[in-house]
A and B are shown apart, each in its own frame.
Chain A
Amino acid sequence: MLSLKTILTGTAVSVSMAGIAMADGHGGPYAPYAGTTLVINVPAHPHYNAMMKVLPAFTEETGIEVEVDQLQYLKMRERQTLELTKDEGDYDLISYVVFSKADYVFADQLENLAKYFMNPKLSDPAYDAGDLIDGYVANIGIAGGKKGYLPGPTGSLYGIPYGSETSVLAYRKDIFEKHGIATPETYDQLLDAACKIPELEDGMGGMASRAASGHQASHAFLLHLAPLGGRVFDDAWNPIINNEAGVAAANALKTIVDCGPEGSQTFGPAEAAAAFQQGQAAMFMDSIAFAAGFEDPSKSTVAGKVGYALHPEGVRRGSQTGGFGIAIPKNAQNKEAAFLLMQWLTSKKGDLMTAMAGGNPSRFSTYQDAALNEKYPYSATFGEALKYADPDWRPIIPTWGKINADIGTTMSQVLTEGLDPQEALDGVAARAKDIMAEAGYYTWQ
């Protein structure tokens, strides 16, 4: 007995010795950085809660310690704004909201990733960047190409998607079956179903949507703008938000909110999701990040009754792209080790581990993984939705904050004060034109 125990202990020791030898001894890519402590800044978000669960595996494999500063995502942006202007920053790796890309890259505060992917000592040949979801890479990672914020011959990579999201339609299978309504595949069917349900089901709204004044109303409007064929600007930066497609999107949003659950006009994403979770609405079309909450029986009264479908098609398919990416600040102190962490987290292995812990995959291969599909049956639909993820559903330019807020307050007036959509969007377009002119977008015209 005793001898067996000794043998077991001995094996355990030799295994751990081997681990250390791998890390410090004859090399391995991580060896020079073992013992380094990285400080990273991430949002308080389900995806990054999942990351927290996989970080110990990174430390064990590489010997690099990671200290995490987790903040609410708007607070995180404020903190980063201050942090990035310092000479020597405290953060080695930051997670950023997609619309920060424009500000950070424009202010030259993020590392261009080319030199890291060129470095044979750092770059993992098995990384397979082609497997990363294109729409996400275009939306979150690349800057300097077409229109300045999209890929193109002049673009380059500043970040890697990690915790990115797209939109899907969640609907109540039981309600749709009960009334013989087909799963909406087009916008006409969607709007039709949205207003039919309140008539058929007493006290239930059609679709729960964001609509609160400001960013939320703007987000909801843009969600419909892209599939209905609209854009905020044309290729010469002239506002075209007030064209037919824009008016159609505003009308779609108004129909959805009017036929939605009571009090829809002031919903933020959390309230809209809560209304769906509590059975007050039959549909919910927003980020995939909410799905886990719907399937959690301790929070949701609709767990198991929810079906997931692609964002319906208008004149084209176009689901949103959003969420977070990770990047290395220019003023970081351990840039190479930070790159290793970034590469590890977004590698096939890291992405799958994070997804299994409840995060949002950034790779096509992860969505096809059998184990993941077994654990989260909706993964296949989400993977399908990503093929239509539209990186250009909203412009990511430094003036966007102001235009976004204006769209949001004006859309709220359409929803609550009966302002005519055409008149409202004409106003937005005129003001956007002024903002763009002031920022110099028409200098070359």
Chain B
Amino acid sequence: MQTANVNRLTPYLFLAPAAVIMAVALLYPIGYMVYASFLDWNPSQRIGEAEFVGLRNYINLLGDASFRESFWVTMKFAMVVVSLEMFLGVGLALLLDRNIRGMSVLRTLFILPMMIAPIVVGLMWRYMYHPTVGIFNRTLKSMGFDPIPWLSDGNWAFASVVIADVWQWTPFIFILSLAALQSLPQSAMEAAKIDGATGWQQIIHIKLPLMMPVLIVTLLLRLIDAFKVLEVILVLTNGGPGLSTEILSLRISRTASEFRELGEAAAMSNYLLILLMILTFAMFLYNKAVELRAARLRKAAEEDL
């Protein structure tokens, strides 16, 4: 009896170190943040001196027009950049999925933007957007057009940060899509060709559905990243003009350092975390539903035989 118990415990014994490390490295910081979000904590205080205020930070934030604006800007930013990047990235991958000479060089060139440090990307674009000496306005002026207020008008500033982000992150989607495309089963493609499918039909009915699992993961990764983007916007506009480009991560950073409200910053991070978890969960459910449907169809097809 004793030995049976010990035997049953053995696997857990082996798992224990990993579980402990997991708890310390992952759960402790998150728990700390969750706890901090219930405090009125100023960075000049130690955490023990901070006053416990319950849900006050969360409730205050809901009533804070700047926070809601910032939340909305974040949603808009994430939706716009991720849609554009998916469209361009997958499109490019479909175009370049063929044997062209020098393909590997081309591919390396394409992913260069992704490898540049975000601060540098921000600075680079900032100079290109410069109202007088920037390349865009100089070109526009030499062609006889009016200069564009890239960073000094709310709508243009939003467009400018979107352009910079799309420039940097489309390659990420491109390279994952390309990898997915190249690992697709050739038999399905050949079968489609023999059945006389056109190029578009192949893309819409064969390639895209088969790539879907990879695309969903890619989308999710990009979405999570887009919600957290900070450096490029920090350097480009610092959230301005007004609040037009003040995304949540920037507001969190300002709340902690400028407003000196660590508790509120933590509460904001938790709102962001909750939002991301909902998104991830929705995506996961969708994936599951698609899989179930495919399984049902397959089963029906098998029964028909």
A-to-B contact residues, CB < 8 Å: 74, 78, 81-82, 84-85, 103-104, 106-107, 109, 212-215, 217, 261-266, 280, 398, 401-402, 404-406, 409-410, 412-413, 415-417, 419
State whether the Cβ of B113 lies closer than 8 Å to any Cβ in chain A: no
CB–CB B130/A409 < 8 A: no
Known A-B contacts A412-B242, A417-B241; the reply to A263 vs B152 at CB < 8 A is: yes
> A78, A85, A213 — which one has the most chain B CB atoms within 10 A of its CB?
A213
State whether the Cβ of B85 lies closer than 8 Å to any Cβ in chain A: no
Residues of A within 8 A of B44 (CB): 81, 84-85, 103-104, 106-107, 109
Known A-B contacts A84-B44, A262-B147, A401-B259; the reply to A212 vs B240 at CB < 8 A is: yes
CB–CB B260/A214 < 8 A: no
B151 CB, nearest partner CB in chain A, Å: 5
How many interface contacts (CB-CB < 8 Å) are there between A and B?
96
B 135-190 contacts with A by CB, 8 A: 147, 149, 151-154
B 243-271 contacts with A by CB, 8 A: 243-244, 246, 254, 257-261
Supplied contacts A82-B43, A85-B45, A217-B240, 13 more A-B pairs, CB within 8 Å: A74-B257, A213-B238, A214-B258, A215-B258, A265-B152, A266-B131, A401-B260, A402-B261, A405-B259, A406-B66, A412-B241, A412-B242, A416-B240
CB–CB A409/B237 < 8 A: no
Residues of B within 8 A of A265 (CB): 149, 151-153, 241
Residues of B within 8 A of A401 (CB): 258-260
CB–CB B258/A409 < 8 A: no
CA–CA, A82 to B262, complex, Å? 13
Known A-B contacts A402-B259, A416-B154; the reply to A266 vs B132 at CB < 8 A is: no
CA–CA, A430 to B90, complex, Å? 49
CB–CB A416/B130 < 8 A: no
Known A-B contacts A109-B44, A263-B152; the reply to A214 vs B240 at CB < 8 A is: yes
Known A-B contacts A262-B147, A265-B149, A416-B153; the reply to A78 vs B240 at CB < 8 A is: no
Known A-B contacts A84-B44, A103-B44; the reply to A262 vs B240 at CB < 8 A is: no
A409 CB, nearest partner CB in chain B, Å: 5
Residues of B within 8 A of A406 (CB): 66
CB–CB B237/A213 < 8 A: yes
Interface size class of chain B, counting residues whose CB lies under 8 Å from the partner chain? 20 to 34
Residues of B within 8 A of A104 (CB): 44
Known A-B contacts A78-B257, A85-B45, A263-B151; the reply to A413 vs B241 at CB < 8 A is: yes
Residues of A within 8 A of B154 (CB): 416-417
CB–CB B241/A262 < 8 A: no
A6 CB, nearest partner CB in chain B, Å: 61
State whether the Cβ of B89 lies closer than 8 Å to any Cβ in chain A: no
Among candidates B43, B153, B244, B254, residue contacting A81 with C-beta atoms closer than 8 Å:
B43
Residues of A within 8 A of B147 (CB): 262
Residues of B within 8 A of A213 (CB): 237-243, 246
CA–CA, A107 to B45, complex, Å? 7
> B131, B240, B258 — which one has the most chain A CB atoms within 10 A of its CB?
B240
Residues of A within 8 A of B149 (CB): 263, 265
25 contacts between A and B (CB under 8 A): A74-B257, A85-B46, A103-B42, A106-B44, A107-B45, A109-B44, A212-B240, A213-B238, A213-B246, A214-B239, A214-B240, A261-B132, A262-B131, A263-B130, A263-B151, A266-B151, A266-B152, A280-B132, A401-B258, A402-B259, A409-B66, A409-B239, A409-B246, A413-B242, A416-B152
CB–CB A417/B242 < 8 A: yes
CB–CB B241/A416 < 8 A: yes
List the 8 closest A-B pairs by CB distance, nearest first. Answer: A213-B240, A263-B131, A265-B152, A416-B241, A107-B44, A413-B242, A402-B259, A262-B131
Chain A: which residue is nearest B260 at the CB level? A401
CA–CA, A412 to B42, complex, Å? 27
